[in-house]
Structure 1
Amino acid sequence: MPEGKGVEHLSHLGSEDTSYTFEYDPSLLETFENNHPNRDYFVKFNCPEFTTLCPKTGQPDFAALYISYIPEKKMVESKSLKLYLFSYRNHGGFHEDAINMIVNDLVELMDPRYLEVWGKFTPRGGISIDPYVNYGRSGTKYEEMASQRLLYHDMHPENIDNR
């Protein structure tokens, strides 16, 4: 596919008039066509500046998000993902809810073969919460993959030295 072909519909990428939404808004997400649908491969986003609000106290919660997926026909455009994640800034929700919402929105948007999101939140009150949520397309090998990765997702936890 020639460079630039199939991306004309993307409204965020290359825009000099980026506006940031402070309320949860999944309509910010945009996709483009996967040029390699015949191959399984992972796409991984590392998002170290995710913020949301505690629904009870209104205090900010900070996390590094790790989003990985195996695309089918559609892929999420990274700037739209950034703006979507930024829209959680004033969203009041528990950590686990936010991560599940992100998975639900990305599955609905792209219909990927496989997707996982791991939120590694900084501690508040001496406890950090690291919800991991994944999805594998039903009736395929990716459904089994999701089951296995869920069971073993934290078998080799990283050294925590940044929080």
Structure 2
Amino acid sequence: MKQSDTKDLTLLGNQNTEYKADYCPEVLETFENQHQENNYFVKFNIPEFTSLCPMTGQPDFAAIYISYIPDVRMVESKSLKLYMFSFRNHGAYHEDCVNLIMNDLIDLMDPRYIEVWAKFTPRGGISIDPYCNYGKPGTMFEQMAVNRLMQHDMYPENINNR
């Protein structure tokens, strides 16, 4: 990454970081993809995601996985961390969280492809693992999204730690 690519980033390297107390998509920042000629995945693993149940106000905990194929813009990771942290006091159902995250990242970056998968810890003996994805319309990634959605979780991993 060239130094000129980071000139518009306000959070990277900032020692006076402000942590938003509620959902804040405005904190997200991007930089230019230096390899636009290539199709490749970028994956973020967020093992300590928290949000609040909108009915009870109790915390919900999840591991969230974001995978995307960038086009022109990419999300800056510190801004993504702050964005994910902003859900800490936000009341939203599990399914709402993954769709909000995906839609905010689509609005931000206009990626070729993106998927968001959350694995929430159980409450009342039931865990909820919502998954959503998107492929840019009119491209091969639109069909990729359909295929991955139809194949999603056909061979689920064996989870014995929750």
- TM-score tier by shorter-chain length is over 0.9
| Secondary structure at 1:9 match in 2 | coil
Q: Does 1:138 align with 2:137?
A: yes
CA RMSD of aligned residues (A): 0.8
Q: Which aligned runs of 4 or more in structure 1 are off by greater than 4 angstroms? A: none
Looking at structure 2, the residues matched to 4 and 124 of structure 1 have their Cα atoms a distance apart, in angstroms, of 46
| Secondary structure at 1:65 match in 2 | strand
Q: Give the structure-2-normalised TM-score.
A: 0.98
Q: Does 1:112 align with 2:111?
A: yes
Pick which of 4-13 and 107-116 moved more. 4-13
Looking at structure 2, the residues matched to 162 and 116 of structure 1 have their Cα atoms a distance apart, in angstroms, of 24
**How many positions carry a matched residue from both structures?**
162
**Runs of at least 5 residues in structure 2 that lack an aligned partner in the other structure:** none
**Runs of at least 5 residues in structure 1 that lack an aligned partner in the other structure:** none
Amino acid aligned to 1:144? Q
Looking at structure 1, the residues matched to 143 and 61 of structure 2 have their Cα atoms a distance apart, in angstroms, of 31
Question: Kindly, what percent of the aligned residue pairs are identical?
Answer: 66
Q: Does 1:156 align with 2:155?
A: yes
The residue number in structure 1 matching 2:76 is 77
Looking at structure 1, the residues matched to 51 and 119 of structure 2 have their Cα atoms a distance apart, in angstroms, of 13
- Partner deviation per Cα, 1:21-42 (whole Å, 9 max, x = no partner): 1110000000000000001000
- Partner deviation per Cα, 1:124-151 (whole Å, 9 max, x = no partner): 0100000000000011110100000001
The residue number in structure 1 matching 2:45 is 46
